[in-house]
Structure formats: structure tokens, C-alpha cells
Amino acid sequence: MEIRDEYQGGITVRRALELPGLRSGLPEVVAGAERLNRSVRWVHAGEVPNVASLLKGGELLLTTGLGLGARPAEQRAFVRRLAERGIAALVVELGHRFTRLPSAIVDTARAGGLPLVQLHREVAFVSVTEEIHTEIVNGHYALLRRADEVHRRCTEVLIGGGGIPRVLNVLAEFAGNPVFLETADGELLYAAGPGGDRAADPLQVWEGLRGRPEARHTPPAGTVLVDVPGGGQGAGAVRARLVLPAVDAPPHPVHRMAAERAAGLLAVVLMQARQEEELAARGRGDFLTDLAEGLVSPDDAPAQARLLGFRHGTGPLLPVVMRLSPASGTWAPLAHTVLEELSAVGVPVLLGVRPVEGRVPVLVGLRAAADRDTVADRVATALRTGVERAGLDRAGARPPVVVVGRACDWNTLPASLRHAGETATAAQGLTDRPWYDARRLDIELLLWRLRDDPDLAAFVDRALGPLRDHDTTARPPLLPTLETYLSHTGRKAETARELHLNRQTLYNRLARISELLGTDLDDPQSVLTLSLALRARRHLLS
């Protein structure tokens, strides 16, 4: 068992030598002075030749040397077994067996990297043991208090509405190193850094340390790995894994304790998410949303998208946004089913979910701009099929709205993503189509943005008020007739067919509408006003 030189909890050998019990023995370090930062896990006093077999590693062994043997070969074997056992240090009290430690003992300790200390005065081993054990217990208690404080802060973050990224930020700030949350298979879910001007970008750190497939199962030395339980079957199943690499400083035991406590909180969050696919999709959704809102630089976006699984060349990018009702139900199966459907599309895809907004942002890689409509058809079909398979299209729910943005590059992607997302919200309630072109819905988007403006409500009231008042008291209602008539651009035959009316009945209704509104339905300006008012009315009522 190898004992690393850096501090591992308890107290160090150096600190043990500074305590009154050993200090009174006038300690002299004769080997391993560079290893005095080793941690003392426990203290043991022994005089038998086979004492190494009684130890587990990390002990400070006190002895008078009676069990070391008389011959150099026996002494070398004794010290070598202790070094191999991984004890923290060997402390020999001179006088009973040796007046000076033999070279065989000193040389073997030095070769094995074992701190070796000789005491020039007699000490009470029981007092030394009690003193060091008290120090160790007090040290562990202090560590527990610090870990508990981190656990309290992480709990407050979750109760306050913060998610997994905020919990990881708390842990990263405490550890002074980047912190990562991975799937059990080593795929990155979230990354957080300690902040500060000199702190390394956590995504760059992950790509360097864990981004290569061969490195995912062999983390660098010093890395702390903490399993987050809860996935799959069985008590030992792992849903995800916290990774604390030794970047700026080696993690201490208190950092592992804090990570273990944070893992318990994350397990609860992941149980709510139910599937790693949804968790990863939420992370990708956060990235695409941050990109749309200008929180991610276009210069940094390609590298971050690549880390999240988007493998794309130099072709155009196509933003697609699907909008569902926020109350559509559990989204746990959605990421899995939609990803399965999108895998058959044949182009690079980065899928995210934003359940709070009821939004599914998707980034698609095109080979050429001319492929836009063909790829949009396939992506929209996959999205809708995934919704059906996930059971989010139940009766009474609004049909999903799929909006396809402009083909763009990384520099113009944020604006195009934002435009597609807003248009997907504005398009809810329109006649259901496989997908909408964001470029053709700018009027809808403008009216949606003005929905809280009192001038828009006044405009709708002036244009449609008499017809609305009629429909509250008389039958048949005339607003649906006007809306259908305008949607067919004034073609009466198609309007009558859709409303299941004969021609004369339709003519009578149109005449009544003209009379109530005091307008001519054949006048282009009047038709434009009424069309805009009907569209605005939909946003005011939504």
C-alpha cells in the first residue's frame, strides 16, 4: 500500500514530532526528512519482529528496537516490511536496544522512502499515543465541520432554486479546482471552475484530462472520484460520477468528504431527472440557451459544442426549436426517444431540453445551405415522433410547434437561435404544420413582442370590437367566418367548403361582417388591418 506524500488528513509526521510528547524525547530525523508531510492515521507501539503484519498502513510506529533483530539482514528485512506496509513513520527510542541506529536500518529506511526518527530521551509511549490520537480526532472533527458547511451551502443552493451547476460551483470554489459531473460511462454532463482571473477554463481542463476516450477509465493520479448512486439496478448502481482532478493543488480528504456529501444531494436531483439522457440534454439546453442570450462567445462556442458531442465540419449551422406546453408532463423519456429518432437523420445534431420554458433547442450541422429544407423535414419528423413515443402528445395538449431558423455560421448563430426560440413561442396556436420557417413568421413575432402594449389591445378593439360584441350575444358567431375567409385570401369557394356552407349563406355572413365593421372586405387596406388584428387577438388571448 503506497502512502502519498501530500497531506491526507489526520496529522502529519512533522506535526506529531512538534507535540510535547515526542518533542520531549529530542527527536532526530535520520531518514525520509522530505516525507514528513505524510499523514499519521493512527499510532501503534510494538516490539515484536512481525509487527508489520499487524499494521494496515498510515501508522506511526513507536518502538525501543527490541524486535528489530541483532543482525543487519534481520534489521533490513524489518524496516523493508514496514515500508512496504505503508506506515507513516518509524520512531525508535534509543537506550534500551541501540545507542545509535545502525546503518542497515538507516540505509534501508532511506531507500524505501520511510521517515525514520530516533529519540535521544525516554518518553512515555502511552502519553504520546493519547496526545497524537487526540490531535487526530480533533483534526477529523474539524474536517467534518468544513465538509458539513459545504453540504449546508449546497443544500441552500438547491432549496433556493439553483440546479446542479450551482452545486458544482460551490464545490469547485471550496476545492480550488475544477469539478466535473460525468455519466457512469465518462461522458461530460456539467463542468464548474473555482473562478478567479487565474483559474483555468474547466472545459479545457476536462478536454485535456478526460476528453480522450482512452483517458476516461484511467483518470490522472491524484484525481478524486465519487460515485453518485441511483441509476440502474442494484444497491451499488452508479448514475453519475463527480470528478475532482488535481489541477492547481492536490485534493485533501476534506474535499472528498465534501464531494461525498454533495453526491448525496446530486443523487436526489438525478432521481428526479430519472435518466442520464435528460440530464445531459438539460446541460446541452443550458449551453444553447446561454449561446442565444450572448453568455457564450461565438469564439468559444465551437469548442464547447464539440465537448458536448457536436461533431461538425465547416458547413452551415441550422437552429431548430420545438415548443411544447410546459405542463406536458414528465420530460424524462423525451431526451431518450428524440435522440433515438434524430440518430437516423444522418447529420450532426446537438439536442437540448429546457423543461421550464417547454422548449427543445436543437443545433443541426448542414453540408450545404441548399440542404436546409430537406434536413428540416427530417429533423421535424424526428422531433414529433420522439414526442409521440415519449407520451407528451396526449389528448388536450397543444401540438408541438417546430420552428426552423436561418442557416448561419457561429458568429450569427446566437441571433438565429434567439429568433427561432421566440418565434416558436409566437407560433403557438397557429394552424398545425410539420414545421414553420422563422423567416416567414416575423409579423407573428412582432405582434407577440407587443402583446403587453396597451396600444395593441386598443388596435384590436377598434378593428374587431363590433364583431366580438356580436358574437357574445348572437349566433352564428362571425369571427371564425372572417378568420377562415382571410386565411384563404378572399377565395369564397374554398372558404365555403371549409366551413361547410353553401355560397349564399357565406355571402350573407360576409355582408353582415362588412356591415358590423363598417368596412369593405374587398379593400386591400381593410383586409390587411383585419388580418393583423386577428393575429394580434390570438396573442392577447394566449
Q: pLDDT by residue (tens digit) across 90-124?
A: 999 999 889 999 999 999 999 999 999 999 999 99
- Predicted confidence at residue 248, as pLDDT, reads 73
Query: Residues 369-392: pLDDT tens digits?
Result: 999 999 999 999 999 988 888 776
Burial of 325 (0-12, 13-18, 19+ CB in 10 A): middle
- Predicted confidence at residue 7, as pLDDT, reads 40
Q: Is residue 20 assigned to a domain?
A: yes
- At residue 1 the predicted structure's pLDDT band, cuts being 50, 70 and 90, is very low
Write the secondary structure of 38-107 as one string of H (helix), E (strand) and C (coil). Answer: CEECEEEECCCCCHHHHCCCCEEEEECCCCCCCCHHHHHHHHHHHHHHCCCEEEEECCCCCCCCCHHHHH
From 243, 209, 245, 213, select the one nearest 227 (Cα to Cα): 243
CA atoms of 241 and 206, how far apart (whole Å): 14
CATH of the domain at 170: 3.30.450.40
Q: Is residue 445 assigned to a domain?
A: no
Q: Is residue 177 assigned to a domain?
A: yes
- Predicted confidence at residue 480, as pLDDT, reads 92
- Predicted confidence at residue 395, as pLDDT, reads 54
- Predicted confidence at residue 2, as pLDDT, reads 32
- At residue 356 the predicted structure's pLDDT band, cuts being 50, 70 and 90, is confident
Q: Are 287 and 428 members of one domain?
A: yes
3-17, 23-37, 523-537 — which is least confidently predicted?
3-17
- Predicted confidence at residue 277, as pLDDT, reads 67
Q: Are 302 and 416 members of one domain?
A: yes
- Predicted confidence at residue 413, as pLDDT, reads 96
How many C-alpha atoms does 239 have within 13 Å on its Cβ side? 23
- Predicted confidence at residue 281, as pLDDT, reads 83
- Judged against a pLDDT cut of 60, whether residue 136 lies above it is answered with yes
Query: Rounded mean pLDDT of 63-83?
Result: 92
Q: Is residue 226 assigned to a domain?
A: yes
Does 520 or 279 have the greater pLDDT score? Answer: 520
Residue span of the structural domain in which 24 resides: 11-123
Q: Are 63 and 114 members of one domain?
A: yes
Q: Is residue 132 assigned to a domain?
A: no
Q: Are 316 and 369 members of one domain?
A: yes
- Judged against a pLDDT cut of 60, whether residue 4 lies above it is answered with no
Residues facing 402 on adjacent strands: 322
- Predicted confidence at residue 5, as pLDDT, reads 35
At residue 79, φ and ψ (nearest 5 deg) are: -70, -40
Q: Average pLDDT of the chain?
A: 85
Does 419 or 193 have the greater pLDDT score? Answer: 419
- DSSP class of residue 324 equals -
Q: Are 198 and 229 members of one domain?
A: yes
Say if residues 117 and 89 touch (Cβ distance below 8 Å). Answer: yes
- Judged against a pLDDT cut of 90, whether residue 506 lies above it is answered with yes
Q: Are 43 and 117 members of one domain?
A: yes
Query: Residues 435-476: pLDDT tens digits?
Result: 999 999 999 999 989 988 999 999 999 999 999 999 898 889
Residue 521, helix vs strand vs coil: coil
pTM tops 0.75: no
- Give the amino acid at 435: W
Query: Residues 417-436: pLDDT tens digits?
Result: 999 999 998 988 888 899 99
Angle, helices 479-487 vs 454-473, to 10°: value is: 120
> What residues contact residue 248 under an 8 Å CB cut-off, 6+ apart?
176, 177, 194, 199, 200
25-34, 265-274, 460-469 — which is least confidently predicted?
265-274
Q: How many domains does the chain have?
A: 4
- At residue 324 the predicted structure's pLDDT band, cuts being 50, 70 and 90, is confident
Q: Are 163 and 261 members of one domain?
A: yes
Q: Is residue 448 assigned to a domain?
A: no
Q: Are 406 and 512 members of one domain?
A: no
CATH of the domain at 458: 1.10.10.2840
Q: Is residue 387 assigned to a domain?
A: yes
From 350, 418, 421, select the one nearest 379 (Cα to Cα): 350
Q: Are 297 and 428 members of one domain?
A: yes
- Predicted confidence at residue 214, as pLDDT, reads 55
Q: Are 287 and 435 members of one domain?
A: yes
Domain boundary among 390, 414, 440: 440
At residue 354, φ and ψ (nearest 5 deg) are: -135, 80
The cell numbers describing 494, all together, are: 374554398
152-156, 214-218, 286-290, 312-316 — which is least confidently predicted?
214-218
Domain boundary among 87, 107, 123: 123
